[in-house]
């Protein structure tokens, strides 16, 4: 399981140094790691720590406003798509090569 620090490192490395919401350079704002599926008690109960703590559930934003806009918790279709991506990625670790 990823730590918060690992999640933020991965998100920063894949962000290209820009906010995932508005495209503003992160060094011009107040950069923060933002959970796509919000890190709440209810979401942890619903989706599990595995999904909430996964590196694909973290993005980089330049501000609190953009952090809120990255949250997909209220969009069930987007949440399901992200969960599917996470499980497909993790499944690859266990598939046998032929």
pTM of the model: 0.84
Confidence class of residue 83 from pLDDT cuts 50, 70 and 90? very high
Specify whether the CB–CB gap between 51 and 36 falls below 8 A.
no
32-35 and 58-61 strand pairing: antiparallel
pLDDT of 81 reads 98
User: What are 2-25's pLDDT values in tens digits?
Assistant: 667 777 788 878 888 999 999 999
């Amino acid at each position: 399981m990823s730590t918060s620090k690992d999640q933020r490192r991965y998100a920063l490395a894949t962000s290209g140094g820009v906010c995932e919401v508005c495209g503003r350079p992160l060094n011009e704002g107040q950069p923060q790691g933002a959970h796509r599926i919000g890190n709440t008690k209810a979401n942890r109960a619903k989706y599990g720590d595995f999904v909430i703590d996964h590196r694909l559930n973290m993005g980089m934003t330049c501000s609190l406003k953009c952090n809120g806009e990255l949250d997909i918790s209220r969009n069930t279709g987007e949440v399901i798509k992200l969960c599917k991506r996470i499980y497909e990625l993790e499944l690859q670790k266990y598939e046998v090569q032929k």
